[in-house]
Structure 1
Amino acid sequence: MAILFVFSGLPGVGKTTLAKALAPRLQAVHLRIDSIEAALKTSVLAISPAEDAGYVVAAAIAKDNLLLGNNVIADAVNPIEITRNIWMEAALGAKVKAMNIEVICSDEAEHKTRVENRPNDISAMTLPTWDAVKRRRYEPWKKHRLVIDTFEKPVDDSVDEIVEAFSQLVRYGSY
Protein backbone atom coordinates (compact mmCIF):
# COMPACT_ATOMS: atom_id res chain seq x y z
CA MET A 1 0.00 0.00 0.00
CA ALA A 2 1.31 3.42 -0.95
CA ILE A 3 1.83 6.15 1.65
CA LEU A 4 1.90 9.93 1.34
CA PHE A 5 4.71 11.52 3.36
CA VAL A 6 3.84 15.16 4.05
CA PHE A 7 6.89 17.21 5.02
CA SER A 8 6.43 20.62 6.62
CA GLY A 9 8.66 23.19 8.28
CA LEU A 10 10.13 26.61 7.84
CA PRO A 11 12.62 27.27 5.03
CA GLY A 12 16.14 26.12 5.88
CA VAL A 13 15.30 23.40 8.43
CA GLY A 14 16.29 20.54 6.10
CA LYS A 15 13.06 19.32 4.51
CA THR A 16 14.44 18.94 1.00
CA THR A 17 17.69 17.39 2.21
CA LEU A 18 15.70 14.74 4.09
CA ALA A 19 13.19 14.24 1.27
CA LYS A 20 15.98 13.68 -1.26
CA ALA A 21 17.66 11.15 1.04
CA LEU A 22 14.38 9.38 1.87
CA ALA A 23 12.98 9.08 -1.67
CA PRO A 24 15.35 6.34 -2.92
CA ARG A 25 15.05 4.38 0.34
CA LEU A 26 11.28 4.15 -0.02
CA GLN A 27 11.20 4.23 -3.81
CA ALA A 28 9.05 7.33 -3.48
CA VAL A 29 8.16 10.11 -5.88
CA HIS A 30 9.56 13.41 -4.55
CA LEU A 31 7.27 16.40 -5.19
CA ARG A 32 8.99 19.65 -4.31
CA ILE A 33 6.75 22.70 -4.19
CA ASP A 34 9.69 25.06 -4.81
CA SER A 35 10.39 23.33 -8.15
CA ILE A 36 6.74 23.44 -9.18
CA GLU A 37 6.35 27.10 -8.22
CA ALA A 38 9.55 28.03 -10.08
CA ALA A 39 8.23 26.23 -13.18
CA LEU A 40 4.92 28.09 -12.91
CA LYS A 41 6.84 31.37 -12.66
CA THR A 42 8.92 30.68 -15.78
CA SER A 43 6.02 29.25 -17.80
CA VAL A 44 4.24 31.27 -20.45
CA LEU A 45 1.58 31.97 -17.82
CA ALA A 46 4.22 33.64 -15.60
CA ILE A 47 2.36 32.74 -12.39
CA SER A 48 4.12 34.55 -9.56
CA PRO A 49 3.47 34.49 -6.74
CA ALA A 50 1.98 31.03 -7.16
CA GLU A 51 -0.43 31.40 -4.20
CA ASP A 52 -2.04 27.93 -3.93
CA ALA A 53 -1.30 26.83 -7.52
CA GLY A 54 1.87 24.88 -6.67
CA TYR A 55 0.13 23.01 -3.88
CA VAL A 56 -2.93 22.21 -5.99
CA VAL A 57 -0.79 20.93 -8.87
CA ALA A 58 1.43 18.86 -6.57
CA ALA A 59 -1.54 17.34 -4.73
CA ALA A 60 -3.09 16.25 -8.04
CA ILE A 61 0.20 14.65 -9.12
CA ALA A 62 0.53 13.06 -5.67
CA LYS A 63 -2.94 11.53 -5.92
CA ASP A 64 -2.23 10.17 -9.42
CA ASN A 65 0.97 8.52 -8.17
CA LEU A 66 -0.65 7.16 -5.01
CA LEU A 67 -3.39 5.57 -7.13
CA LEU A 68 -0.62 3.85 -9.11
CA GLY A 69 0.75 2.43 -5.86
CA ASN A 70 3.73 4.77 -5.59
CA ASN A 71 4.86 6.24 -2.28
CA VAL A 72 4.93 10.04 -2.51
CA ILE A 73 6.90 12.65 -0.58
CA ALA A 74 5.32 16.12 -0.50
CA ASP A 75 8.14 18.59 0.23
CA ALA A 76 6.68 21.97 1.19
CA VAL A 77 6.61 24.52 3.98
CA ASN A 78 2.93 23.66 4.57
CA PRO A 79 2.64 26.63 6.92
CA ILE A 80 -1.09 26.61 7.57
CA GLU A 81 -3.82 24.06 8.12
CA ILE A 82 -5.36 24.76 4.70
CA THR A 83 -2.19 23.69 2.87
CA ARG A 84 -1.79 20.65 5.13
CA ASN A 85 -5.39 19.62 4.40
CA ILE A 86 -4.74 19.65 0.64
CA TRP A 87 -2.47 16.65 1.19
CA MET A 88 -4.96 14.86 3.43
CA GLU A 89 -7.59 15.23 0.70
CA ALA A 90 -5.18 13.69 -1.83
CA ALA A 91 -4.51 10.75 0.50
CA LEU A 92 -8.23 10.26 1.17
CA GLY A 93 -8.98 10.43 -2.55
CA ALA A 94 -6.41 7.71 -3.19
CA LYS A 95 -7.55 5.71 -0.13
CA VAL A 96 -4.05 5.63 1.39
CA LYS A 97 -2.51 6.70 4.67
CA ALA A 98 -0.62 9.92 5.12
CA MET A 99 2.30 10.49 7.45
CA ASN A 100 2.83 14.06 8.61
CA ILE A 101 6.46 14.95 9.27
CA GLU A 102 7.34 18.34 10.73
CA VAL A 103 11.01 19.18 10.29
CA ILE A 104 12.52 21.67 12.72
CA CYS A 105 15.94 23.02 13.64
CA SER A 106 15.74 23.67 17.38
CA ASP A 107 18.84 25.89 17.47
CA GLU A 108 18.00 29.37 16.15
CA ALA A 109 21.63 30.31 15.42
CA GLU A 110 22.11 27.13 13.36
CA HIS A 111 18.82 27.68 11.55
CA LYS A 112 19.85 31.26 10.71
CA THR A 113 23.23 30.05 9.43
CA ARG A 114 21.53 27.50 7.18
CA VAL A 115 19.11 30.06 5.77
CA GLU A 116 21.85 32.60 5.11
CA ASN A 117 24.37 30.15 3.60
CA ARG A 118 22.40 27.54 1.68
CA PRO A 119 22.93 27.33 -2.06
CA ASN A 120 20.09 28.13 -4.40
CA ASP A 121 19.59 25.09 -6.63
CA ILE A 122 16.56 26.53 -8.47
CA SER A 123 17.52 29.51 -10.61
CA ALA A 124 13.97 30.88 -10.95
CA MET A 125 13.51 30.99 -7.18
CA THR A 126 14.69 33.63 -4.76
CA LEU A 127 15.62 32.19 -1.39
CA PRO A 128 14.07 33.92 1.62
CA THR A 129 16.20 35.99 3.96
CA TRP A 130 16.44 35.18 7.65
CA ASP A 131 14.14 38.14 8.39
CA ALA A 132 11.57 36.77 5.94
CA VAL A 133 11.74 33.34 7.54
CA LYS A 134 11.27 34.86 11.00
CA ARG A 135 8.23 36.87 9.82
CA ARG A 136 6.66 33.96 8.01
CA ARG A 137 3.27 32.77 9.17
CA TYR A 138 3.53 29.22 10.43
CA GLU A 139 0.61 27.79 12.37
CA PRO A 140 1.17 25.20 15.09
CA TRP A 141 0.11 21.71 14.13
CA LYS A 142 -3.25 20.49 15.46
CA LYS A 143 -2.90 16.94 14.13
CA HIS A 144 -0.55 14.11 14.98
CA ARG A 145 2.84 14.30 13.27
CA LEU A 146 6.37 12.99 13.58
CA VAL A 147 8.73 15.81 14.58
CA ILE A 148 12.27 15.55 13.25
CA ASP A 149 14.82 17.93 14.76
CA THR A 150 17.74 18.26 12.34
CA PHE A 151 19.98 20.19 14.74
CA GLU A 152 23.19 18.20 15.32
CA LYS A 153 21.64 15.06 13.82
CA PRO A 154 23.10 13.40 10.74
CA VAL A 155 20.76 13.17 7.75
CA ASP A 156 20.96 9.36 7.77
CA ASP A 157 19.81 9.24 11.41
CA SER A 158 16.80 11.42 10.62
CA VAL A 159 15.95 9.28 7.60
CA ASP A 160 16.27 6.13 9.74
CA GLU A 161 13.81 7.66 12.23
CA ILE A 162 11.30 8.33 9.44
CA VAL A 163 11.74 4.83 8.00
CA GLU A 164 11.15 3.31 11.46
CA ALA A 165 7.98 5.37 11.92
CA PHE A 166 6.89 4.32 8.41
CA SER A 167 7.43 0.65 9.34
CA GLN A 168 5.27 1.13 12.44
CA LEU A 169 2.57 2.81 10.37
CA VAL A 170 2.55 -0.12 7.95
CA ARG A 171 2.67 -2.75 10.74
CA TYR A 172 0.37 -1.24 13.36
CA GLY A 173 -1.53 1.53 11.62
CA SER A 174 0.14 4.33 13.61
CA TYR A 175 3.57 5.68 14.41
Structure 2
Amino acid sequence: MLIIFGGLPASGKSTIAGALARALGACYLRVDTIEQAILAHAPLAERDVGPAGYVALYRLAADNLRLGNMVITDSVNPLDVTRDAFRSVAIAAGRPFIEVEVACSNAATHRHRAETRQALAGESVPSWAEIEARRFEAWSADLRLDTFRLSVEDCVAQIAALTRSRADQA
Protein backbone atom coordinates (compact mmCIF):
# COMPACT_ATOMS: atom_id res chain seq x y z
CA MET A 1 0.00 0.00 0.00
CA LEU A 2 1.13 3.53 -0.77
CA ILE A 3 0.19 6.22 1.75
CA ILE A 4 0.53 9.58 0.02
CA PHE A 5 0.90 12.58 2.32
CA GLY A 6 0.54 16.21 1.34
CA GLY A 7 0.20 19.55 3.09
CA LEU A 8 1.92 22.86 3.56
CA PRO A 9 5.26 23.04 5.36
CA ALA A 10 4.94 23.14 9.18
CA SER A 11 1.44 21.63 9.08
CA GLY A 12 2.66 18.53 10.94
CA LYS A 13 2.80 16.02 8.08
CA SER A 14 6.41 14.86 8.66
CA THR A 15 5.74 14.31 12.35
CA ILE A 16 2.63 12.27 11.57
CA ALA A 17 4.18 10.40 8.65
CA GLY A 18 7.21 9.42 10.74
CA ALA A 19 5.06 8.27 13.64
CA LEU A 20 2.85 6.29 11.24
CA ALA A 21 5.90 4.64 9.63
CA ARG A 22 7.11 3.53 13.07
CA ALA A 23 3.64 2.24 14.03
CA LEU A 24 3.13 0.29 10.80
CA GLY A 25 6.72 -0.72 10.10
CA ALA A 26 6.45 1.05 6.74
CA CYS A 27 9.12 2.45 4.45
CA TYR A 28 9.25 6.24 4.98
CA LEU A 29 10.32 8.37 2.00
CA ARG A 30 10.67 12.14 2.43
CA VAL A 31 11.14 14.45 -0.55
CA ASP A 32 13.01 17.03 1.56
CA THR A 33 15.72 14.45 2.30
CA ILE A 34 16.10 13.69 -1.41
CA GLU A 35 16.16 17.36 -2.40
CA GLN A 36 18.73 18.24 0.26
CA ALA A 37 20.98 15.41 -0.93
CA ILE A 38 20.73 16.73 -4.49
CA LEU A 39 21.47 20.30 -3.38
CA ALA A 40 24.42 19.21 -1.26
CA HIS A 41 26.15 17.96 -4.39
CA ALA A 42 24.95 20.54 -6.91
CA PRO A 43 27.16 23.38 -8.09
CA LEU A 44 26.16 26.74 -6.60
CA ALA A 45 24.85 27.85 -9.99
CA GLU A 46 22.36 24.95 -9.98
CA ARG A 47 20.52 25.51 -6.69
CA ASP A 48 17.04 24.73 -8.02
CA VAL A 49 16.33 21.00 -8.01
CA GLY A 50 13.13 21.43 -10.03
CA PRO A 51 11.13 18.20 -10.23
CA ALA A 52 14.17 15.95 -9.57
CA GLY A 53 13.28 15.31 -5.93
CA TYR A 54 9.74 14.25 -6.76
CA VAL A 55 10.87 12.09 -9.68
CA ALA A 56 13.36 10.31 -7.40
CA LEU A 57 10.63 9.91 -4.76
CA TYR A 58 8.26 8.30 -7.29
CA ARG A 59 10.93 5.81 -8.34
CA LEU A 60 11.95 4.91 -4.79
CA ALA A 61 8.28 4.41 -3.90
CA ALA A 62 7.77 2.20 -6.96
CA ASP A 63 10.82 0.06 -6.10
CA ASN A 64 9.61 -0.46 -2.54
CA LEU A 65 6.01 -1.20 -3.56
CA ARG A 66 7.27 -3.85 -6.02
CA LEU A 67 9.17 -5.42 -3.11
CA GLY A 68 5.87 -5.68 -1.22
CA ASN A 69 6.66 -2.93 1.28
CA MET A 70 4.10 -0.52 2.65
CA VAL A 71 5.37 2.92 1.62
CA ILE A 72 4.69 6.35 3.11
CA THR A 73 5.62 9.37 0.99
CA ASP A 74 6.08 12.72 2.71
CA SER A 75 6.00 15.81 0.51
CA VAL A 76 4.07 19.05 0.15
CA ASN A 77 2.44 17.40 -2.90
CA PRO A 78 0.75 20.68 -3.84
CA LEU A 79 -0.40 20.04 -7.40
CA ASP A 80 -2.78 17.71 -9.19
CA VAL A 81 0.10 16.63 -11.43
CA THR A 82 2.18 15.41 -8.46
CA ARG A 83 -0.82 13.65 -6.94
CA ASP A 84 -1.60 11.97 -10.27
CA ALA A 85 2.01 10.79 -10.45
CA PHE A 86 1.81 9.20 -6.98
CA ARG A 87 -1.46 7.47 -7.88
CA SER A 88 0.11 6.17 -11.09
CA VAL A 89 3.02 4.71 -9.11
CA ALA A 90 0.63 2.70 -6.93
CA ILE A 91 -1.53 1.61 -9.86
CA ALA A 92 1.49 0.50 -11.90
CA ALA A 93 2.70 -1.56 -8.94
CA GLY A 94 -0.78 -3.07 -8.49
CA ARG A 95 -1.02 -1.70 -4.97
CA PRO A 96 -3.79 0.26 -3.23
CA PHE A 97 -3.17 3.83 -2.11
CA ILE A 98 -4.48 6.31 0.43
CA GLU A 99 -4.18 10.08 0.12
CA VAL A 100 -3.79 12.09 3.32
CA GLU A 101 -3.87 15.88 3.47
CA VAL A 102 -2.48 17.43 6.63
CA ALA A 103 -3.43 21.00 7.51
CA CYS A 104 -3.39 23.31 10.50
CA SER A 105 -6.64 25.31 10.59
CA ASN A 106 -5.33 27.92 13.05
CA ALA A 107 -3.07 30.39 11.25
CA ALA A 108 -1.40 31.63 14.45
CA THR A 109 -0.49 28.09 15.49
CA HIS A 110 0.71 27.21 11.99
CA ARG A 111 2.84 30.37 11.89
CA HIS A 112 4.31 29.63 15.32
CA ARG A 113 5.27 26.13 14.19
CA ALA A 114 6.85 27.51 11.02
CA GLU A 115 8.84 30.15 12.85
CA THR A 116 10.07 27.92 15.69
CA ARG A 117 10.79 24.59 14.04
CA GLN A 118 14.33 23.35 13.89
CA ALA A 119 15.80 22.43 10.53
CA LEU A 120 17.62 19.13 10.28
CA ALA A 121 21.35 19.29 9.61
CA GLY A 122 22.01 20.83 6.23
CA GLU A 123 18.37 21.71 5.60
CA SER A 124 16.70 25.04 5.21
CA VAL A 125 13.08 25.62 6.09
CA PRO A 126 10.71 28.04 4.38
CA SER A 127 9.70 31.25 6.10
CA TRP A 128 6.10 31.91 7.08
CA ALA A 129 5.81 34.35 4.15
CA GLU A 130 7.00 31.63 1.75
CA ILE A 131 4.50 29.15 3.21
CA GLU A 132 1.64 31.64 2.88
CA ALA A 133 2.59 32.38 -0.73
CA ARG A 134 2.85 28.69 -1.67
CA ARG A 135 0.43 27.41 -4.29
CA PHE A 136 -1.57 24.44 -3.01
CA GLU A 137 -4.34 23.22 -5.31
CA ALA A 138 -7.60 21.97 -3.80
CA TRP A 139 -7.46 18.25 -3.13
CA SER A 140 -10.10 15.59 -2.52
CA ALA A 141 -7.83 13.42 -0.37
CA ASP A 142 -9.21 10.29 1.27
CA LEU A 143 -8.50 11.77 4.68
CA ARG A 144 -7.98 15.39 5.75
CA LEU A 145 -6.40 15.83 9.17
CA ASP A 146 -6.40 19.11 11.10
CA THR A 147 -3.38 19.17 13.40
CA PHE A 148 -4.78 22.12 15.33
CA ARG A 149 -7.62 19.89 16.52
CA LEU A 150 -6.02 16.41 16.50
CA SER A 151 -2.99 15.01 18.27
CA VAL A 152 -0.30 13.09 16.41
CA GLU A 153 -1.62 9.91 18.04
CA ASP A 154 -5.17 10.62 16.88
CA CYS A 155 -3.96 11.28 13.33
CA VAL A 156 -1.93 8.05 13.28
CA ALA A 157 -4.92 6.09 14.60
CA GLN A 158 -7.22 7.49 11.88
CA ILE A 159 -4.76 6.70 9.09
CA ALA A 160 -4.04 3.22 10.48
CA ALA A 161 -7.78 2.49 10.62
CA LEU A 162 -8.24 3.60 7.01
CA THR A 163 -5.20 1.54 6.00
CA ARG A 164 -6.69 -1.59 7.60
CA SER A 165 -10.04 -0.93 5.93
CA ARG A 166 -8.44 -0.51 2.49
CA ALA A 167 -6.27 -3.59 2.97
CA ASP A 168 -9.39 -5.62 3.82
CA GLN A 169 -11.06 -4.39 0.61
CA ALA A 170 -8.06 -5.28 -1.58
Residues 148 and 158 in structure 1, CA contact (< 8 A), matched pair in contact too: yes
3-state DSSP of counterpart to 2:158: helix
3-state DSSP of counterpart to 2:77: coil
Task: Give the structure 2 partner of residue 82 of structure 1.
Answer: 81
Please give the alpha-carbon distance, in whole angstroms, between the structure 2 residues aligned to 1:59 and 1:41. Answer: 18
Residues 8 and 76 in structure 1, CA contact (< 8 A), matched pair in contact too: yes
Q: Which amino acid aligns with 1:149?
A: D
Instruction: Give 1:48 deviation, angstroms.
Output: 2.6
Q: Which amino acid aligns with 2:31?
A: I
Q: Which residue of 146, 149, 158 maps to 1:161? A: 158
Residues 15 and 103 in structure 1, CA contact (< 8 A), matched pair in contact too: yes
Please give the alpha-carbon distance, in whole angstroms, between the structure 2 residues aligned to 1:44 and 1:112. Answer: 31
Give runs of ≥4 in structure 1 deviating > 4 Å: 44-47
Moved more, 143-152 or 82-91: 143-152
Q: Any gaps of 5 or more consecutive residues in structure 2?
A: none
Instruction: Give 1:24 deviation, angstroms.
Output: 1.7
- Normalising by structure 1, we get a TM-score of 0.92
Please give the alpha-carbon distance, in whole angstroms, between the structure 1 residues aligned to 2:121 and 2:133. Answer: 23
Residues 102 and 145 in structure 2, CA contact (< 8 A), matched pair in contact too: yes
Q: Which residue of 15, 27, 30 maps to 1:29? A: 27
Please give the alpha-carbon distance, in whole angstroms, between the structure 2 residues aligned to 1:35 and 1:101. Answer: 20
Please give the alpha-carbon distance, in whole angstroms, between the structure 1 residues aligned to 2:77 and 2:144. Answer: 14
Task: Give the structure 2 partner of residue 19 of structure 1.
Answer: 17
Task: Give the structure 2 partner of residue 97 of structure 1.
Answer: 96
- Normalising by structure 2, we get a TM-score of 0.94
Does the alignment pair 1:147 with 2:144?
A: yes
Alpha carbons of structure 1 residues 11 and 42: separation in structure 2 relative to 1, 3 Å: same
1:120-150 Cα distance to aligned partner (Å, 9 max, x none): 0141x22111111000011001x44210111
1:1-25 Cα distance to aligned partner (Å, 9 max, x none): xx00000000000110001100021
Residues 35 and 122 in structure 1, CA contact (< 8 A), matched pair in contact too: no
3-state DSSP of counterpart to 1:90: helix
Superposition CA RMSD, Å = 1.4
3-state DSSP of counterpart to 1:63: helix
Does the alignment pair 1:41 with 2:39?
A: yes
Does the alignment pair 1:130 with 2:128?
A: yes
Q: Which amino acid aligns with 2:38?
A: L
Task: Give the structure 2 partner of residue 10 of structure 1.
Answer: 8
Instruction: Give 1:108 deviation, angstroms.
Output: 0.7
Residues 55 and 86 in structure 1, CA contact (< 8 A), matched pair in contact too: no
